[in-house]
Amino acid sequence: MTFSLHEFVIYQPPPSTTTTASLQTRMADTVNLSEPHPPTGRGLEAFNEVLPKIKQAVISSRRDWDNHEPRMWARASGLSDEQLTSFVIEDDLVEVRAGSTSYGTIVFGKIRIPGLKDEEGEGFIHVRIHDPPNKVCT
């Protein structure tokens, strides 16, 4: 199984919301997504496969946004890069959804940032990874 990091977004749900609905509403209109659920073995494996890319993308995003719109990462401003990316998939991937498309399978994951818990609650990033069809396994 070969997954690739496709995109990620930062998302902080309101305290009364436990699903990733707003992130996935656009995809749900065109892709039949599974219901949100805790990750299983395949989900854990998929996200662990791209974990270094996810962490690098988070660090890069924060640096880019700090130049243009510091409010994007303001809640994490007190965290070092190491603290910001200290998430462990087995502990911090709290929810996944998946759907098949003509270009492969997409998997959404909600990952907790362990060092980010404040008056707004816990902080999360949402990641979308892609498992392309017809890939050549070596």
Rounded to whole angstroms, the Cα distance separating 16 from 78 reads 25
pLDDT, tens digit (0-9, with 9 covering 90-100), for 115-130: 998 898 999 999 999 8
Give the rounded percent of residues in the chain with a pLDDT score beyond 70.
Answer: 75
Q: Which pLDDT does position 10 carry in this prediction?
A: 47
Tell me the whole-structure pTM to 2 decimals: 0.77
Nearest to 84 by CA among 110, 64, 62, 99: 62
pLDDT, tens digit (0-9, with 9 covering 90-100), for 15-61: 444 445 554 545 555 789 999 999 999 889 999 999 999 999 999 99
> 70 burial class (0-12, 13-18, 19+ CB within 10 angstroms)?
exposed
